[in-house]
Each structure stands twice: as C-alpha cells, then as structure tokens.
Amino acid sequence: MTIAEITKTLLDAKKAKGVTFAQLEEILGRDEVWIASVIYRQASADETEAKKLVEALGLSPEFAEELTIPPLKGSLDPVIPTDPLIYRFYEIMQVYGMPMKEVIHEKFGDGIMSAIDFTLDVDKVEDPKGDRVQVTMCGKFLPYKKW
Amino acid sequence: MTIAEITKTLLDAKKAKGVTFAQLEEILGRDEVWIASVIYRQASADETEAKKLVEALGLSPEFAEELTIPPLKGSLDPVIPTDPLIYRFYEIMQVYGMPMKEVIHEKFGDGIMSAIDFTLDVDKVEDPKGDRVQVTMCGKFLPYKKW
Amino acid sequence: MTIAEITKTLLDAKKAKGVTFAQLEEILGRDEVWIASVIYRQASADETEAKKLVEALGLSPEFAEELTIPPLKGSLDPVIPTDPLIYRFYEIMQVYGMPMKEVIHEKFGDGIMSAIDFTLDVDKVEDPKGDRVQVTMCGKFLPYKKW
Amino acid sequence: MTIAEITKTLLDAKKAKGVTFAQLEEILGRDEVWIASVIYRQASADETEAKKLVEALGLSPEFAEELTIPPLKGSLDPVIPTDPLIYRFYEIMQVYGMPMKEVIHEKFGDGIMSAIDFTLDVDKVEDPKGDRVQVTMCGKFLPYKKW
Amino acid sequence: MTIAEITKTLLDAKKAKGVTFAQLEEILGRDEVWIASVIYRQASADETEAKKLVEALGLSPEFAEELTIPPLKGSLDPVIPTDPLIYRFYEIMQVYGMPMKEVIHEKFGDGIMSAIDFTLDVDKVEDPKGDRVQVTMCGKFLPYKKW
Amino acid sequence: MTIAEITKTLLDAKKAKGVTFAQLEEILGRDEVWIASVIYRQASADETEAKKLVEALGLSPEFAEELTIPPLKGSLDPVIPTDPLIYRFYEIMQVYGMPMKEVIHEKFGDGIMSAIDFTLDVDKVEDPKGDRVQVTMCGKFLPYKKW
Amino acid sequence: MTIAEITKTLLDAKKAKGVTFAQLEEILGRDEVWIASVIYRQASADETEAKKLVEALGLSPEFAEELTIPPLKGSLDPVIPTDPLIYRFYEIMQVYGMPMKEVIHEKFGDGIMSAIDFTLDVDKVEDPKGDRVQVTMCGKFLPYKKW
Amino acid sequence: MTIAEITKTLLDAKKAKGVTFAQLEEILGRDEVWIASVIYRQASADETEAKKLVEALGLSPEFAEELTIPPLKGSLDPVIPTDPLIYRFYEIMQVYGMPMKEVIHEKFGDGIMSAIDFTLDVDKVEDPKGDRVQVTMCGKFLPYKKW
Amino acid sequence: MTIAEITKTLLDAKKAKGVTFAQLEEILGRDEVWIASVIYRQASADETEAKKLVEALGLSPEFAEELTIPPLKGSLDPVIPTDPLIYRFYEIMQVYGMPMKEVIHEKFGDGIMSAIDFTLDVDKVEDPKGDRVQVTMCGKFLPYKKW
Amino acid sequence: MTIAEITKTLLDAKKAKGVTFAQLEEILGRDEVWIASVIYRQASADETEAKKLVEALGLSPEFAEELTIPPLKGSLDPVIPTDPLIYRFYEIMQVYGMPMKEVIHEKFGDGIMSAIDFTLDVDKVEDPKGDRVQVTMCGKFLPYKKW
C-alpha cells in the first residue's frame, strides 16, 4: 500500500463513518490538525493512538501499524503548490517572510522558530463581516549554537 | 532608488536611531509586522503613516512618498528560500498543507483563508523549557463563488 | 477512482449522451464554465447540483458524491503549460500583468482581484473578420488589510 | 537606457505631472491598459502616439522614439510571479484553464483565442458588497489550419 | 486509452501494414507532417479524415472518433527535450531567436508568426555532399492589435 | 564591452544610419538573418565581413575585431522565452517535434538535421488574406555513426 | 513493452547467459559502448546486428525488430543526474566546458564537435597507483556554415 | 576584480600578445586545456606556474597571485548550457551516460571515474572527410569503499 | 522488481523479523549505515554479504543477487528534498558549504573530500539537555591533478 | 556594502595579514569553521567576538558591527551547486539521505537532527594512503512534538 492509498482508505472510512476531526480530537485527546497529519502520513502516532484512530474510523486493527512508522514527509507536487488554499501559505512566506525574520531576530536574536518542536491550530473566528480562519503556529525558538 | 536600497536605508536609519519595532508600533498605532512589511516594501502605507514612520526613523520627509506606492510584492530568491528561518514556513506548508486543507474544508466548506484580508502577529511566549515563537495568522474565509 | 478517471468518465458520458455545456447550463442553472470546472474537479457542487449533473449525463447517482468534495485544485503539468490555448493565458499574464497591476492600483488602491469570489464567462462574439472569443473575469476587489 | 529605466522615467513623470491613465486614454484615444503596456514596453506605439504620450507626461520628445521599437515582451521574474495581484492570473489559468479549453473547443472547434489580435479592458464594477474588478479579454478565434 | 497508447497503436498498425507517411499523404490528401501530428494527437482530424486514416492503417473504425477530439497539445518531457533531433529546434530558437525577431520586425512591424494558422513541411534536398533536411514553416503574420 | 552592449551599439548605429538588413545583405553578400546573428553575437564573421559590416553601420573599424571571436551562443532568458514571437518556435517544437521526428526518420533513417551545417531564411509571402512569414531551415542530415 | 522493459529484458538475458560486453563486441564487430547504447535504446541497430545481438543473448528473434527503430534518446531523470558516475560527466562539462571551448575554437575556428558523427570508447588503463578509466570521444568538427 | 574580469583580462592579453595555447603549453610544461582552465579560474596554479603564465601574457606580476587561489568551480549559466559546443557534452551524458555506466561497472566493478584525479586532452585528428575533435578523458577509477 | 519494491520487501522483512540495524551490523561485520544503503540500493554488496543479509532478514536466497548489482544511485524526489530530516543536510550544505570549502582548502590545498572513498557513521551522543545525533563523514582528500 | 563585498574584504585582509583559520580559532576561542561562517555572513558574532575578529584581521573597528547582524543565510547559486567540493555534500545527501533517515529513526524515533543547535568540525586525518577529510556534524535530536 502506498501512502496515497493509506490516506485515501482512512479518509473514505472517515466519510463512511461520518465522524469529524473535532470528534476524533475528543476520542484521541490530540489536536485535529495533528490527527489529519497522521492520516496524511506527515506525523507518526504511537501504537495506542494508532489503534484508537483506526478503531474510531471503523477499520481493522492491521492498519494501525502503518501509522506508527516515521513517514517520508512533505508531499506536495509541484514544489510551488497550485491549490489556492495551500498556495496562500507560500504567498504569506513570500510576502511576509522577510518582515517576520526581521521582527523575530529583534525579539529573540539569531535563530529560528522550530517546525519540529511545534504545534499548529486551526480555529474558526466568527465575524459578522465574514468568519475568519485563524492559524496559530507555535514553535520553540532555537538560537544558533556557537562552537 | 531600488526597493532593496529603500529597505536598506530605512533599516540603517532604524539601527542608527536605536528604535525597535515595538516602539514603532506605539508611534504608528500599527502592528510591528505590518510596519516591517512597509519597510520591506511588501505593504503600502498611507501618507500620514508614511510620514510618521519616516520621521520616527529620523529620515527626511521625501522618503515618505515611496512608501505609499503599491509595491511589487514577494521578493525571495530563490523560489524555495534557503534562509533557515524563512524556509521553515515552506516546510510547514509542505508538511501541514494537506492536513490544514482537510480541516479547513471540514470547518468552512470549499474556499480559502484570504492572504489579503489578513493579519499576522509574532509573539514571544515565555517558557521555562525555552521561549517559543508564536505566529498567528488570521484571514477572512472566502468561500468559492458559484455562478 | 482518481480525479483524471472521474473527469474522463464524465466527459465520455457527456459525449455519449450528446449533451452540450450550453444545455447543462440550462439544466443546472449554473454557468457552463463553472459546470466544466466541476467536471474537471476544480470546483465542488452541492448535492442537488451534483445529482442533476450526474443525471443529465446519464450516469448512476453514486458519482454525485465525488463531485461535492472540495478538490485539490490546479492540475496543469508542466507548470508552464504547453497546450497553445492554455499557454496564451500565461502569455497574457506575462505581457499584460504589470500594466494591469498599474491600472488596477490606480483605480482601486493597493489590493487584488479575488480569484475566489470570482466568475468567469466565455462568449462567442460574432465578427465578419473572424469570430472572437471573449473571456470576462469578474472578481471582488480585496484591499490589503492593515493591522 | 534599459527598459526598466524607461518605464521608471515615464511612471515618475506621470506621477509628477499628476495625470491618470484615464486622462491619457482621452488624450491618446487608446485604452488605458494599452497605454500602460506601452509604458512597460510590452507594446509599441507609432510615432504620433509616442509623441502625444511623451508630451502628455511632460517629457522631452527624444523619449518618443524608444516607444516605437517592437519590444522584447514578457518580463516577469520569477517565471511563476510572486506578486499576489499578478499571481491570481496564473492561478486562474491553473484552475480554469482546462474547463475553458473544453468550453472554447465546444463553441469554436479546435483552435485558440489569439493573444495578439487581442484587447484587454479593466473596469470597476460598483457593488454594495464590495466593488469588483472586471477584466475583459477579447481575442480573435484562430482555428488550426490543416495542410 | 491514454494518448500514448493511441499513438502506439496507430504506429504499430502503420508498421504492420507497411504503409509510409508519403502514402498516407496521397490517401488523405493532407501533408505527411500533419498526419503524423494527428497520430501523435497534436492535431485533430474531421470524421472523414479520421476514418480514412484508420482504414488505411487497417484498424477498426472505432479508433476514428478519438482522432477528432481537440487534443491537449505539447507533450515533450522534460521541458527542454533531450532527444538530439528535437533538441536542435530548441537550439535554433536559442541561437537564432533574437536575430529572427529583429528581421521579422523590420519586414513586418510589431507582431508574430502564427503557430496556428501555420503549415510545416519536411523535405529531403539531395546533395552530393550529403542530403539535407529542409523544414519550411509558414505562418500568417499577426500584427499586434491596438485598442 | 559586454555582448549586450556590442549588440546595442550596432543596432543603434544601424538605426541612426537608416540602413536595413536587406541593404546589409547586398553589401556583405550574406543573408540578412546571418548578419543579424553576427550583430547579436550568435555567429562570427571573418575579418573582411566584419570590416564591411562595421563600415556599413558607420562605426569605427575597432568594432570589427569583436565580431570575429567565436561567441558564447544562446542567450535567451528565461530558458522558456516569454517573448511571444520567440515563444512560438518553442511551441512549434512542443507540438510538432515528435511528428517531425517520425517523418524525418522515415525519410532519412536514424540521425538528425544539423543546426551547424545549417541555413535559415525569413521571407515575406504576400497573401490577400494576410501576409505570411516563411521560415526555411535547411540543415545537413547527419546519420548516427556506428562504431 | 516500454523502453525500460526492453532494456531490463536484455540486461537480464545478458546476465543469465553470462556474456560480457567485450564478448558481444567480438560477436557483433561493433564497439561495446555502442552495443550497450542499443540495449539502452539510445542507438538503433540494423536488422542483421539486431538479430545477432538478440541471438547472442539467447532471446527469441521477435525482440530484434524493436532494436531497429530510431529511439527517443536521452533518458536521464532528473535533468541533472544524481548517480555519481554519470554526474561526473556533468561536472566535467561545468568545470572544463569553457576551457575546452576556448581550445577547440583556437584549433578549429568557430564550430562544434559533432555528437552524431561521433564515437566513444571506454578503456581500462592499468596503473600501479590505481587503474584508470579512459573515455575517448571523437567527433567530426562541424564548422558553422555561413549563408 | 571578479572572476569574469580576470578571465577577460587574461584572454585579452593573450590575444594582444598573439600567443596560442600550444605555445603556452611549451612555456609552462602543462597541457593547454589545463592552462585554459587556470585562465577561466577552474583550476589553481602554483606560484611558479602563475608567474610564468602572467609573464607569457605580458601582464604585470600582481595578476599571478589571483591564479593560485582555489576557485569556486563550475560557472555555466543556465544549468543546461545553451552554447552548442558545450551542450553537446550534456547531450553525450544524456545519450551515452547509462551505456557508459554499464560498461564501466562491468570492467571495474561499482565505483566511478574520478573527475579530480583526472586529465583531459583535446586533439585534432586530421581526416580527409573532415577533421575530427578528439577529447580524451582519463580519471582514476575510485571503487566504492565499504565500511 | 523495481528498486522501490526491493527496498520495501527488505524493510518489511526486517520489521517482521524484528531485527535492528545494530544487529545486522554484528552479523555482517559492516556498518549499519552501509547496510541501510544496500537495502536502499545505494551501495552494492558482494555475494557473501548479500547472502548473509538476505538470510538475516529471513528472505529466500534469490533476493541476494539483486543486491550485488551496482545501482543507479541518488533517488530523492524532488531535487531539493522536502522531508525535514533529509532537508537539514541540504541546509547544512547551503549554510556551511562555503565556510567548509575555505577551511578545507586552507588545510589541504585545492581538491575535494571524496564521496566514494568515504565512510559515514551515525552515533547517538547522550546529553542531559537532549541527546544528540552525530554524523561523522570521512573521505579521502583528492588533490586536483595537474597535467 | 553587500555581503559579498564584506566577505571579500575580510578574506583579503586575512590573506594580507597571513593569518590562518587555526590561528583565528585560538584568538577567538571559537572553532575555525564557525569563524569562516561569520566571515561568509552565515553566522552572527556578538560584539566582543566581532571586534576580536576584525582586529585580528587588521581591519578598522567599524567592520565589527556588520558581523553582529543576523544574516540572510544560504547563498549558493545555483540551487544545486556546481563546485565539486560543495557538490559532494549534495551527493552525500542524495545517496545516503534515506539510509541515514532509516538509521536515525531506529535509534531515536521520529524527529530530526537540528541544524541550528548544531556544530560542525573539519579535521585532517593523516593516512599513509592519502590524508582524509573528516567532517563531524553534531546536532541535537529534536523529536516531533505531538499536540
């Protein structure tokens, strides 16, 4: 089974079962984005989490093991994605990358925001002029080590 | 004057003046990331904002006008940036792009998070295990129009 | 079923049935370009629309559900398309992109034409010197938010 | 003088003079987008048009000749532009390219919309929910010649 | 059936039948290069032409319909082809592109040679020092429209 | 002096002198496309040709020597050119590359059309429905050597 | 059968048969590199050569015909190959390309070394400090034709 | 001084002095291709060699030091060179890369031809049917180390 | 069997057998990274090593032969890998490539670190502040040969 | 002053002064590779380090400040570097990337080696068969955070 097939199987099961990410969040005690990342094989679950997830989707337990293997991450094709929703994050990096760099260095010194010791939340902010998508990224600041 | 020269002039003036983005935020009543975006010519200020900014940096008023022109945005070279701080945002898009897409569609339906009707904040979250960088993106959800 | 297979099935059914996009436009009460976008899985229909479309093409109702899923959009390969009809739109962007940007900013200020809150019509303009293709794009102007 | 310098000189003069594209349209009797294309050296004017334009911008007549030379067209860098306003036209091609191709072939047969025997207008459509940008492209249909 | 499979089927049939492009040219009353373009699905035939071609190749009539559909054109992979025969045309464009542009503009003004209202012939020019390949391209000059 | 500067100097001189490529063809006894190739530094002249050319353009003899150096050829940027006139040759290669390959191999066997032992002519074919650009390429057939 | 499958079949047969390229060289009277090129479908054999080769590999005669078709040449993926042995030839071109160009032009004038009227030999040069690979390329010098 | 300027200065001096690579070969006791590589800053000379070379070109001794610095090698732009002479080496790699790999592995086992412990000679092979360029590459075979 | 299938078969067998790379290192007397390279078909084993490895993984002996063939190396897709663990090595090359080059040339003169006569070890360095990954690369210095 | 100019000034000063990286290591109490990284503006020094470095190179103190600014890192052009010494690190990533990933995950679980909390040493390992370059990379293991 390729990664694309695993993802499709899990998403189809999720649809057939009629379960939402919010519900999975409650069942697993993990954030819905992280769970979606496991389904897309961008994150690896431990055995307990994998079993709970597979069970919640109504799949047989044998699917659980696959979800515990550290995956080959990053899967967008082409390298600058064309899907408008995903592309906007590329655009944000292009437009706001240098300004963020400037501000982060002023606040923290030379270093980066970790994308590994990192969490990402998606929230709906209700607004009479149109609801808003709020994406909160929170990563440990890693200062450059000198040696 | 090219955009790179304008940016350099403003950043040099900011350094010479010893003023921080946080202080500029208070003077202009605009977020520091937005102000950094004006300096990098990724956003355009109105005349009042431009004058205040130029004055705060101790530059002559003639620099203000340049900052009001809608700029040619997106300036990273090469197309997949090599600077580690900026690259991490590319990596986040690669790794979490599809999971976010899945969750956003479940919460909002088919559409995108606007990168135009959009705000971006950078905060320092103090943490005994190491401070964290928090980036909050908030964009209007734009549902696909049918016609 | 992959997206390419869905599209092929629908186009083959359309051909077998001998129905035109103009006729589908009347049946669904939606523009023919939008309907073609659903068929190419670049737009998502609601359940009623999907059922009508599938029925009009003489396919079994089970195909309808696929058409309601928000698709992964943008599907041209390679990134600069080689098909002459499609390439001309790339060429128009290359040649007229900067002039349009200049004129739009003068008329509207800093911001963009939305490609989401957006409609696109294709019309035949009869002309004795040779008929003309008229493509009308109409998107909401989105001014850059300041924060 | 490079093309970038010519464009900058003309745009600076236009700004200094305080003349809009709409006013230039009246003076030259040519559409404002076409005039902007001459300024960006994507289109070539004849001598009369070039002189009128240069005069309207308050520049010396010697600039006119440059504007009559057939230019090397297409000037965006990188090949997939990062400026959000211009990128949206790339996105439209990615998302709606195949659907448009399908509809145009059904209406006209095998061939293309010319990007040479071609006009492009930008209009402001006022709308209480937010003004809209309307871009009308109109190109001669060119059927593939058989031989 | 994919386009590659259609092409392969037709070429295999042509080989099995032992018929040359020159003979097909006589049977169809169309140039051999155009016929090869139909076989490679770069051009579309009308029903009569398609039937004649399929019959000449000894294939069942059902293949004819495929050949009448306007194809997705341009099929070389990678974007700069590596096959030496085909690459030479890329090289000719690289080396002689600007000189041709200069000469064509002097002869015709600003505009292009159409690649749609266009014919292409391949001839063998016998020469005692080695036969020569002559490729004659003839396209309508399309002057840029002003508006 | 860079190649771009040499070309610009020669083209400016040609314009100032008011001499056409057709006239240069008569003076040098070489085809106008080849002469344009020398000016764009894609071909090298011998000393006599270089002197005649420089003289015909009213430049001092010292420019002649530069034109005799074998140049670094191929100068288009980006690798898939955006200028519509030049791009059409890329498109012709994309659309008709495989069909030409098939026909040339049938006529000549395995090998290529030389782009070195090669001539290229541009002619105007008058036509009441619109004049046509005729480009005639003629290169020695080079069969693959076996060893 | 795809080209990759043909190559694999032939290489597997060669291995099963235990025959070396050096032995094939003797059987066919052709150089081993050329024979390997036929197996990789980068060169085409005539019928006699193809039959001898197929027979020497212990395959049924029907494979012979495939080897006589002029192939689509150049097959490395990606465009800058990652295999260290093959990459070194790219590196040699990068490092020694300009120096070779300079020396060849001094020796021969403006023109190229043909890669078609061309032979390539691989030899083992025994050396107590470590054996050496010697690659001898020999191509006809093709002077640029003037016209 | 940039590398391009150093190279140009040395080549201009070589031309002014009227000295050939063959003559430099005699003076330095190094191969002409290696000397051309030093001039193009792809190889580094020792102090004695550098002084001899600079003197032979009639330049002041201060240029010598630059030629002893290990250079940043590989300088072709774009990554797939467009100059026909240089491109042919890319083509040879594309067409004969896999066959050479197969033959080298059979002769030597798993490993590569070094491009560092490596020599490259360019010779003129006189031939009544047209002189030939012979390029002899000879690199130490490096077997893969196991550990 | 493709390389990807061979790798998958071996990794699945390794998992089913519950054997670690450290254990394979003891069985084969080769480093675990080298063994992993054989499994990913980036290195070739001799017959004895291949048999031991296949046996240790509980596979039938017929798999052994495949592992002795010199493989086509380098297999990452896309050319700049998106997997965060692997990308970091690209980043290290981007950030520390020039500084390493400078230091190596100072220590060794002009030349390179071989990637063929080369070993690579991965070790875990325990650290109370968080364990560390230590990667030790050790390659023969190859000085550039002069000729 | 651009970054390239700063680097050149510092390297020229280092050469004029005749000081080695090893000596700078003693003066600054920092590793020579890190110091070279500061010179190439890939790392930022604090004020004391910067002053010491500038003084050791015999430059005026005003250069020190530039070296304390967090730089825009990653500066290789093109994206796959052509310099053989630097390219080998790309090759190592291509060939050993997946095997290292496999081994690191087995030893540490899912996560990465940090390239920020990271040190890199270059050592000369003397060896009678030829000295060896040893590069030791040591980065903190960062496990993927779950949330």
Tell whether G73 lies on the interface with H, counting CB pairs under 8 A. Answer: yes
Q: Which pLDDT does position D109 carry in this prediction?
A: 98
Q: Which pLDDT does position H1 carry in this prediction?
A: 79
Which phi and psi (to 5°) does residue J117 adopt? Answer: -85, 80
Q: Which chain A residues have a beta carbon less than 8 Å from that of J114?
A: 116, 142
Where do the domains of chain A lie, and which CATH numbers do they carry? 3-66 (1.10.260.40), 76-109 (no CATH), 110-147 (3.30.1160.10)
Mean pLDDT across D1-24: 94
With cut-offs at 50, 70 and 90, classify the pLDDT of residue I22.
very high
Q: Contact E139/F118, CB-based, under 8 Å?
A: no
Q: What length does chain F have? A: 147
Mean pLDDT across J67-90: 95
Q: Which chain B residues have a beta carbon less than 8 Å from that of D100?
A: none
Q: Contact B91/I84, CB-based, under 8 Å?
A: yes
Does the pLDDT at position J24 exceed 80? Answer: yes
Residue-wise DSSP of G62-131: HHHHHTTSPP-----SSSS--SHHHHHHHHHHHHHHHHHHHHHHHHH-SEEEEEEEEEEEEEEE--TT--
| Residue J55, CA distances (Å) to C105, C140, J4 in order | 51, 59, 20
Tell whether C39 lies on the interface with D, counting CB pairs under 8 A. Answer: yes
Instruction: Write down the mean pLDDT value for chain A.
Output: 96
Q: What distance in Å separates residue A128's CA from the closest CA in chain B?
A: 11
Nearest CB neighbour to A147, from listed J34, J101, J111: J34
Does the pLDDT at position J20 exceed 80? Answer: yes
**Which residue bears the tokens 């009809």?**
C85
The pLDDT tens digits for I77-107 are: 899 999 999 999 999 999 999 999 999 999 9
Does the pLDDT at position I2 exceed 90? Answer: no
Positive or negative torsion for Cα H77, H81, H82, H85: positive
Q: What distance in Å separates residue J146's CA from the closest CA in chain I?
A: 16
Percent of the residues in chain E that have a pLDDT greater than 70, as a whole number: 100
Q: Contact F75/H82, CB-based, under 8 Å?
A: yes
- Tell me, yes or no, whether chains I and G touch by having 3 or more C-beta pairs under 8 A: yes
- Tell me, yes or no, whether chains J and G touch by having 3 or more C-beta pairs under 8 A: yes
Q: Tell me if H59 sits within 8 A of H83, measured CB to CB.
A: no
Q: Contact G94/J80, CB-based, under 8 Å?
A: no
How far is it, in rounded angstroms, from Cα D57 to Cα G98?
48
Choose from G21, G116, G122 for mutation: most chain F CBs within 10 A: G116
The pLDDT tens digits for G59-113 are: 999 999 999 999 999 978 899 999 999 999 999 999 999 999 999 999 999 999 9
Q: Which chain G residues have a beta carbon less than 8 Å from that of J82?
A: 91, 94-95
Question: Can you tell me the ipTM of this complex?
Answer: 0.97
Mean pLDDT across I46-72: 96
Chains that touch C (3 or more CB pairs under 8 A): A, B, D, E, F
Q: Tell me if D92 sits within 8 A of C104, measured CB to CB.
A: no
Q: Which pLDDT does position G120 carry in this prediction?
A: 98
Nearest CB neighbour to I82, from listed B82, B84, B94: B94
With cut-offs at 50, 70 and 90, classify the pLDDT of residue F3.
confident
DSSP code of J111? E
Q: Which pLDDT does position C3 carry in this prediction?
A: 87
Range of weakest confidence among E53-62, G74-83, G115-124:
G74-83
G38: nearest CA partner in chain F = F146
- Tell me, yes or no, whether chains F and C touch by having 3 or more C-beta pairs under 8 A: yes
Q: Which pLDDT does position D52 carry in this prediction?
A: 98
Instruction: Write down the mean pLDDT value for chain B.
Output: 96
Nearest CB neighbour to J146, from listed A34, A109, A142: A34
Mean pLDDT across F15-34: 97
Q: Which pLDDT does position I77 carry in this prediction?
A: 86
Range of weakest confidence among B74-78, E95-99, F44-48, F105-109:
B74-78
Q: Which chain B residues have a beta carbon less than 8 Å from that of J76?
A: 82
**Residues H21, H23, H26: CA angle, nearest 5 degrees:** 110
- Tell me, yes or no, whether chains E and A touch by having 3 or more C-beta pairs under 8 A: no
Q: What distance in Å separates residue D144's CA from the closest CA in chain B?
A: 31
Mean pLDDT across F94-113: 98
Percent of the residues in chain J that have a pLDDT greater than 70, as a whole number: 100
Does the pLDDT at position J75 exceed 90? Answer: no
Q: Which pLDDT does position B122 carry in this prediction?
A: 98
Instruction: Please give the residue that has the higher pLDDT: either E62 or A125.
Output: A125
| Residues of G designated catalytic | 88, 91, 114
Half-sphere exposure of J91 (CA within 13 A, CB side): 27
Q: What distance in Å separates residue H50's CA from the closest CA in chain I?
A: 13
Q: Which chain B residues have a beta carbon less than 8 Å from that of D80?
A: 79
J90: nearest CA partner in chain G = G82
F4: nearest CA partner in chain D = D2
How far is it, in rounded angstroms, from Cα G20 to Cα G11?
11
Q: Which pLDDT does position H143 carry in this prediction?
A: 98
The pLDDT tens digits for H56-105 are: 999 999 999 999 999 999 978 899 999 999 999 999 999 999 999 999 99
| Residues of I designated catalytic | 88, 91, 114
The pLDDT tens digits for B1-27 are: 888 999 999 999 999 999 999 999 999
Does the pLDDT at position C138 exceed 80? Answer: yes
Nearest CB neighbour to E80, from listed H80, H84, H95: H80
The answer to whether residue E55 is catalytic is no
| Residues of F designated catalytic | 88, 91, 114
Q: What distance in Å separates residue E130's CA from the closest CA in chain D?
A: 29
Mean pLDDT across E89-103: 98
Q: Which pLDDT does position J2 carry in this prediction?
A: 87
Residue F128 corresponds to which amino acid?
P
In what side-by-side order are the strands of the sheet with A111-125?
Answer: A111-125, A132-143, B132-143, B111-125
Mean pLDDT across B113-140: 98
Three-state SS at E67: coil
E114: nearest CA partner in chain C = C84
Residue-wise DSSP of B34-70: HHHHHHTTSS---HHHHHHHHHHTT--THHHHHTTSP
Q: Which chain C residues have a beta carbon less than 8 Å from that of D99?
A: 33, 36-37, 39-40, 42
Q: Contact C117/B43, CB-based, under 8 Å?
A: no
Burial (CB count within 10 angstroms: exposed 0-12, middle 13-18, buried 19+), residue I129:
exposed
Q: Contact A73/I81, CB-based, under 8 Å?
A: no
Which of residues 43 through 72 in chain J touch I, CB cutoff 8 A?
A: none
Q: Contact F43/G147, CB-based, under 8 Å?
A: no
Query: Would you give the distance in Å from CA F109 to the centre of its chain?
Result: 27
Which of residues 96 through 115 in chain B touch A, CB cutoff 8 A?
A: 96-108, 111-115
Q: Contact F73/H84, CB-based, under 8 Å?
A: yes
Q: What distance in Å separates residue D77's CA from the closest CA in chain F?
A: 9
Instruction: Please give the residue that has the higher pLDDT: either H105 or C2.
Output: H105
**Cβ contacts of A115-118, under 8 Å, gap ≥ 24:** A115/A139, A115/B88, A115/B91, A115/B92, A115/B95, A115/I84, A116/I84, A116/J111, A116/J112, A116/J114, A116/J142, A116/J143, A116/J144, A116/J145, A117/A142, A117/J142, A117/J143, A117/J145, A118/B92, A118/J145
E144: nearest CA partner in chain D = D116
With cut-offs at 50, 70 and 90, classify the pLDDT of residue I63.
very high
The pLDDT tens digits for E13-51 are: 999 999 999 999 999 999 999 999 999 999 999 999 999
Q: Contact J137/I138, CB-based, under 8 Å?
A: no
Q: Which pLDDT does position I97 carry in this prediction?
A: 97
C84: nearest CA partner in chain F = F91
Percent of the residues in chain D that have a pLDDT greater than 90, as a whole number: 94
Instruction: Write down the mean pLDDT value for chain C.
Output: 96
User: What's the start-to-end Cα distance of chain J, in Å?
Assistant: 45
Q: What distance in Å separates residue G66's CA from the closest CA in chain J?
A: 34
Does the pLDDT at position A1 exceed 90? Answer: no
Q: Contact G92/H124, CB-based, under 8 Å?
A: no
Q: Which pLDDT does position D47 carry in this prediction?
A: 96
How far is it, in rounded angstroms, from Cα C140 to Cα B145?
10
The pLDDT tens digits for D60-75 are: 999 999 999 999 999 7
Q: Which chain F residues have a beta carbon less than 8 Å from that of E85?
A: 100-101, 104-105, 111-113
The pLDDT tens digits for C57-96 are: 999 999 999 999 999 999 788 999 999 999 999 999 999 9
Does the pLDDT at position I114 exceed 90? Answer: yes
Which position among E26, E65, E91, E102 bears the catalytic label?
A: E91
**Which residue bears the tokens 């002077």?**
G143
Residue B140, both tokens: 């209007």
Q: Which pLDDT does position J94 carry in this prediction?
A: 97
